[in-house]
Structure 1
Amino acid sequence: MDKNQLGIEMMKEGKWEEAAKIFMEEIEANPTDAVAYVNFGNVLSAVGDSEKALKFFQKAIELGGGGSAYYSAGTLYYENEKYDDAKTMFERAVKEGLHTSDNYFMLGMCLVNSGNSRLALPYLQRGVELNQHDSEGLFQYGLCLAQEGLLDEAIDQLQKCLKIEPKHADAYYNLGVAFAFKENKQDALSMLEKALEIQPDQELAQNTKTLLESMDQQAH
């Protein structure tokens, strides 16, 4: 096992100091190894040293670290809510050939957080096409579709999310809202009740359920 792989194993075990030591040894032995700079930056990012981590990602980019270096930098910007900078990095990662579900998902989420749901749709869609078992990807894609008024498509994605993660309270809540907009009160209430079974303190689900029930009573 080479040092980069060994360091990654340490990271998986949460042994950050050991991982950092291994990556630093690799950088000292091979100062042009872009992968080691990315990995060391990921350790720094994980322990909260964003500023220093970014310097290592930038060095990796200079050394031709490709898509993974841009992706790591993008993730760091995203975590610090710098969505425009993050979007630029994820777009560069795509240009460098990083066509992974995670990269497309993160690119979509940058646009969602910048208030551009419509522009986010193709990226979130591509993300779930590449990984159909990503419950969070399916959930966010479903939310985005709902925001754009594409309720049938949103319901389909949220139901797929629940097949993978049956206790996803927010997916049940948003399904309830989608059914309510389609004036299907029975299914809406059923979904909201399931959301509350999983997460009894979910105020949005409780408030929506109360509203639908009061409307039902007024109708009678």
Structure 2
Amino acid sequence: MNNFVLKQLIQLSNMYRVFLYIIAVVFILSNFSCRKKDDDSTNTEIEKEKRMLSEAVKSFLFRQHSYWVYTNSTNGNLDSLVVIATKNDFCYDAHPKYGGGKYVKEYVETTYNYFVGSQNASYNYWEYAMYDYIKHQGGGEYGQYGQPIFSCTKTIGAEFNGLVLEELFPTMVINGITFNDVRKFKLVAEKQIYPKIFQEDRLLYYSPYVGLVKKVIMPTSGDTTTLELLRWNVIPY
């Protein structure tokens, strides 16, 4: 085989390799583009299915380092409450066998540290906000756990799992401080269905952009304890 023919064969071989390389690059780019479109479509679909927290309930949620100090009627000591962590995420709407899977729900989980002045000790607990209500020790894959302690939409007298909205106050004076738009809830322990978290009845008073301003714990036996807000510093959600 002469040199001319050999050179021609080498050139053809190189051109063939370049041609295959171009085809491979085009295929990869085309596949990536299609996949990106699919991903974008999926993201758009998920975005449409998100159900967010109501603006009303956000006025009762607070960020890390917010704190409240309460007077305790039982012993005259001061108790305090501090937000030590918050988590904002989404959970499923419901179990598939109950028709779930249609959308996801936004929630905010707030972890508090409660200091008991009379005992010089503290403990942590969390609250779980979703839609327009707040649960004590809430959570779960579908937000199904916890005891309701607050709702933005309950009408007076309406009850759910032991929680009743009893009264609305345009203003309320506590420790010489005037609070606006106070909602008074009563939690009846024996009416809790799932699960039974509280062992005693209690009254809960909330004011927007302040939070819990008063709490009355009413055990079946023994003295009633009243906690009233004295000072606070909050970071709205």
Tell me the TM-score normalised to structure 2 length.
0.23
* Bigger radius of gyration among the two: 2
Of structures 1 and 2, the one with the larger relative CO (CA 8 A, separation 6+) is 2
Q: Which has the higher strand share?
A: 2
More helix by share: 1
Question: Normalised by the size of structure 1, how large is the TM-score?
Answer: 0.24
